[in-house]
Amino acid sequence: MRKQFIAGNWKMNLDTKQAAELARALLDAAGELGDIEIAVAPVATSISAVIEVLRGSKIAVAAQNCYWESAGAFTGELSPEMIREIGCQHVIIGHSERRQFFGETDETVNKKVHAAFRAGLLPIVCVGESLAEREQGKTMEVVSTQLKQSLRDLRDEQVTQLTVAYEPVWAIGTGKTASPDQAQEVHAFLRGQLMETFGPGAAEAVRIQYGGSVKAANAAELLSKADIDGALVGGASLKAEDFLGILREAG
């Protein structure tokens, strides 16, 4: 049985004080939540403050991105080792906003995924089609290519530890959610692709999160689907009550 894994992606929001306050509010309610895995991904400058609040709790901390080298002349970048050292357990890699605005490709995503494992971080690898791609009937082709290229040359036991986030680009921040059936169709397909490349053990173990306008009102139905093992939540993770609403549906 895969444990549900809900991650809040705070994107470039909340200053350090606000981030620590949100973490505190989540922590205060964490005891009443079910047996699920939870992570939050603050901006890099707030990671330490959030880790301070959440240390020893069941809420893990993720970085929103990393570089693939350990150290060196790469102005503005953070290495996975540095992110691990301050106490993050996870790192989001290849979010569609990184692909769209910052030139991420499947090749750079793949380098970052390898680097994350080297540093002892568990990657959350994002894939998803644009609206135009969906309308042209290319959804499966697009996500299959992204998945295979992003996970290239990983060992089976590494794959079992990572999380895939299926995030249709047209559903992110738009209020338009994929229907539970639409999402399940892609999730089942992705699991099939994992099976082909990495075998049944890995395919069964990998959590596939859905992301794109998830909120408390639609979480239960999405999470009830066989291959939807959690959510990557943007907007609705920025307020404690909204995020807790989703966490309660998952538990």
Q: Which of 97, 129, 167, 249 is catalytic?
A: 167
Q: Which residues pair with 8 in a beta bridge?
A: 40, 233
Residue 167 identity (one-letter amino acid): E
Give the position of tokens 């307020």.
239
Nearer to ligand PGA, 79 or 229 (CB): 229
Nearer to ligand PGA, 110 or 213 (CB): 213
Nearer to ligand PGA, 203 or 247 (CB): 247
Nearer to ligand PGA, 23 or 172 (CB): 172
95 is catalytic: yes
Among positions 213, 218, 247, 250, the unique one binding ligand PGA when judged by CB under 6 A: 213
Chain position whose Cβ is nearest to ligand PGA: 234
Nearer to ligand PGA, 20 or 172 (CB): 172
Among positions 42, 94, 123, 235, the unique one binding ligand PGA when judged by CB under 6 A: 235
Among positions 40, 151, 233, 250, the unique one binding ligand PGA when judged by CB under 6 A: 233
187 is catalytic: no
Alpha-carbon radius of gyration of the chain: 17
* Residue 124, CB-side half-sphere exposure with 13 Å CA sphere: 34
Q: Would you count residue 172 as binding ligand PGA (CB under 6 A)?
A: yes
Among positions 20, 53, 214, 222, the unique one binding ligand PGA when judged by CB under 6 A: 214
Residue range at the interface with ligand PGA (CB under 6 A); choices 31-39, 67-75, 154-162, 206-214? 206-214
Q: Is 169 exposed, middle or buried (0-12, 13-18, 19+ CB in 10 A)?
A: buried
Identify the sign of the CA torsion 234, 126, 5, 231. Answer: positive
| Contact map string, positions 173 to 192, toward ligand PGA, x by CB under 6 A | x-------------------
Q: Which of 95, 104, 133, 249 is catalytic?
A: 95
List of residues contacting ligand PGA (CB under 6 A): 9, 167, 172-173, 211-214, 232-236
